[in-house]
Structures are given as C-alpha cells and as structure tokens.
Amino acid sequence: MRKLARAVRLSAIGQGTPAHRHNVPGRSALRTAVALAAIGAFVASAAARNQTEKTKSQPMHQAPPYWAFVEDPPVHKSAAPSKPADQDVLQHVPGSQGAFTLRQINDGFTPPDWHPDGHPPMPEIVAHGRRPDVWACGYCHLPNGQGRPENASLAGLPAAYIVQQVADFKNGLRKSSKTTAPFSAMITEATKATPEEVKTAARYFSQLKPKPWIRVVETKTVVKTQAKDWMLLPVAGAGTEPIGQRIIETPENVERTELRDDASGFIAYVPVGSVEKGKALVTTGDAGKTLPCAMCHGPDLRGQANVPTIAGRSPSFIVRELYDFRSGARAGPDAQLMKPVTAKLTVEDMIWIAAYLATLHP
C-alpha cells in the first residue's frame, strides 16, 4: 500500500517536486490523467477489500444536519417589521481605506473589494458578473476566494477542478441532499455563465493563495445561534446550550461578515475530542471505516493534480460535501472516487473529519 501511495503521489506531482502544487507550469495533461487513473484504481481495489458483510456500505438514514445545510426561517406576516438601515450611508471596515454603501454591498453585481491589495486584479466576471444574468463570482466567494460557510472557498483550487464542478452543476450531476438558497443561486449562475466566463473565473481563483480562515474551538457548550443570511449567528443575550453532536460555525465578527469583509474569518465550535478522532479517520482510515485522505488529496491534504485541497476548509462545507457524496446527491466524476470513501461514514464521523481538517494550514 505504501509503495502504491508513493507511486500515485509521484505520478500526480512529478518526481522530485514539492507536493503543494496546483497549476504548476508545464504539468502535462497526460501526467494528470495517469495520476487520477492510479488513484481511481487504488480506491476501487481498497474499497473492494473493505466490503465485508460486517462493514458493507449501508443506506444513509440520518437526515441532513441543519447546521451544515443552513436555511433562513420563513418570515411570518405577523412579525413586526424592523427598521431598515440607511442603504446609502458609507460603511467602513478595519484595515481598509475603502468605503461602500449597504446598497452596493448587498448588490450581487457590485461586491465590495475592501482589500484590493490582497489579490490580483479581478476579471470582470469575478468583479461585476454580467448583468442581468450572472452575479459577480466575488459576491458569494469573496474577492480573495476565501468564501463563507454557506458556499465554498475557491482560493487555490485547480482551475480544471472548478470548471468540472460548474459543468456538474449545469448537467445536474452536482445536487444537494437539502436544497438551500445559496445552492439554488449557484445552479442559476452556473447555467447562465458562458464557458469562457467559467474558465476566466477558474483561472483567477486558482492563482490565489488560501489563508487560515477558520479557528477551531473544542467545547461542551456553545452560544445559542439562529439562522440568518444562510449561516448561524449568535443570539444576543440568549446564553449557551450543549453543543451535542454539531459543528457551530459562526463569524469571528458578525458586523464585518455582514459587510462582506474578506479579511474577517470564522470560528468553528466542535465537540470535545473531535479533532483527535478526526485525525485518526483522516490519516489512517480508522481500521477500514474509510480510506486515508492523503491517498487522493496529497500528503499534506492540499491537493494534487486536479484533486482539490481539503486542508483548512470550512467544516460546514466539508460535512455538506461528505454527506452529499454519501447520499448520492453528488454524481460527477469525482463522486465515483468518493463513494467508497464515504460509504460507511456517519454524521458523527463527518463532524470529526471536518473538525480535524479545519485545524490544518490551508
């Protein structure tokens, strides 16, 4: 197994080259194809060895966890309307000379670029989209590609991987076990973007360097939260509650997150012991429960060939994707590799895996 792991890794990244290496100039399509074929062959053979009667994959009976598939509650007609904020007052965030109004900040075609020096110049499709059909990619995924819990971080992902995911959205191969508003918006945007727009955006995000974005805190209790804007926000004065078997991912600074400040990250509260249990699953497969993640995602879990990084990513996102692979909602080319990996995972296992991965340097 170790020899095959090394062969897969070397065929994916090139003999003697460092392992973190999306979009390395000169990498041939043939090398990538050979790497993925080797990975696929290994995963298939390992999965076959693990399919005993005792450990055989079972149907997914656990409901999608609400804290990973966050939906805003319906607005009751009887609810007293809140006083709307002035949409034309200039807003500011720490460390930025920019100033934007709420009208600009909440417009899908004019996302605020608070820190333009922190990334290369954005192409038009990322900065402004294409009216009236396609929102700016930087609105949801942020100008630096870090993303938010309700969507995905795109910074540093292989361009070909991003293009494939958009194609899967368009072709109905990437669905969700529970359809949320952000997911529906992605379907809408993906189906209207042109192939050239998708490639342009993918090239931009692939060149960005992901940065630490999640602070993981193991705890027995957590502040009470409510769903707002498709993420979990603390309820002022509501106190705390047992965390149970949940991940509660919430902004470090709610105000800055609401202003779409791409320099303000998130806290992930996880059950005590999650990180250590997740490490066992991720690094060893935990006696056949799953497969070691490094086999496909590289020795540092930052990806190889067209396999994406999973280090330092939003735990809410990781749980959603593991659940969708497990349930069959994701059926694109990468799903065939992930099916045996997720076949025996419970939601609790997914919590542990996501908690550990979020502690790693992206």
Domains defined along the chain, listed by start: 90-206 (1.10.760.10)
Residue with tokens 């490490």: 279
State the Cα–Cα distance between residues 70 and 223, nearest whole angstrom.
17
DSSP classification of residue 116: G
CB distance 22 to 156 below 8 Å: yes
Q: What pTM was estimated for this model as a whole?
A: 0.86
Question: Nearest CA to 154 among 322, 314, 336, 359?
Answer: 314
Mean per-residue pLDDT for 93-109?
Answer: 98
Residue 113, C-beta contacts closer than 8 angstroms, at least 6 positions apart: 98, 122, 127, 138, 143
Q: How far apart, in Å, are the Cα atoms of 146 and each of 155, 209, 354?
A: 6, 9, 17
CB distance 293 to 310 below 8 Å: yes
State the pLDDT at residue 227: 97
Out of 84-93, 113-122, 133-142, 268-277, which region has the weakest mean confidence (pLDDT)? 84-93
Mean per-residue pLDDT for 90-110?
Answer: 98
For the chain, the straight-line distance linking the first and the last C-alpha, in angstroms and rounded, comes to 26
Mean per-residue pLDDT for 145-164?
Answer: 98
221 pairs with which residues across the strands?
Answer: 242
State the Cα–Cα distance between residues 262 and 138, nearest whole angstrom.
10
pLDDT of 16 higher than 80: no
CB distance 362 to 313 below 8 Å: yes
330 burial type by CB count under 10 A (0-12 exposed, 13-18 middle, 19+ buried): buried
Out of 37-41, 161-165, 182-186, 320-324, which region has the weakest mean confidence (pLDDT)? 37-41
State the pLDDT at residue 315: 98
State the Cα–Cα distance between residues 7 and 247, nearest whole angstrom.
36
CB atoms within 10 A of CB 272: 10
State the pLDDT at residue 76: 67
State the Cα–Cα distance between residues 189 and 166, nearest whole angstrom.
9
Pair of tokens at residue 300: 């540092």
pLDDT of 2 higher than 50: no
pLDDT category of residue 358 using cuts at 50, 70 and 90: very high
Pair of tokens at residue 231: 């993420």
| φ/ψ bin of 316: left (φ > 0), alpha (ψ from -120 to 50), beta (otherwise) | alpha
pLDDT of 46 higher than 70: no
132 upstream amide cis, omega within 30 of 0 = yes
Mean per-residue pLDDT for 329-353?
Answer: 95
pLDDT of 20 higher than 70: no
State the pLDDT at residue 53: 39
pLDDT of 105 higher than 50: yes
Phi/psi at 256 (5° precision): -70, -35
> Which carries the bigger pLDDT value, residue 246 or residue 191?
246
Mean per-residue pLDDT for 274-303?
Answer: 97
Task: State pLDDT tens for residues 254-263.
Answer: 999 999 999 9
State the pLDDT at residue 4: 40
pLDDT category of residue 19 using cuts at 50, 70 and 90: very low
Phi/psi at 59 (5° precision): -60, 150
122 burial type by CB count under 10 A (0-12 exposed, 13-18 middle, 19+ buried): buried
Pair of tokens at residue 340: 């045996």
> Which carries the bigger pLDDT value, residue 18 or residue 275?
275
pLDDT of 166 higher than 80: yes
Average pLDDT over the chain, rounded to whole? 88
Mean per-residue pLDDT for 268-294?
Answer: 97
Mean per-residue pLDDT for 143-160?
Answer: 98
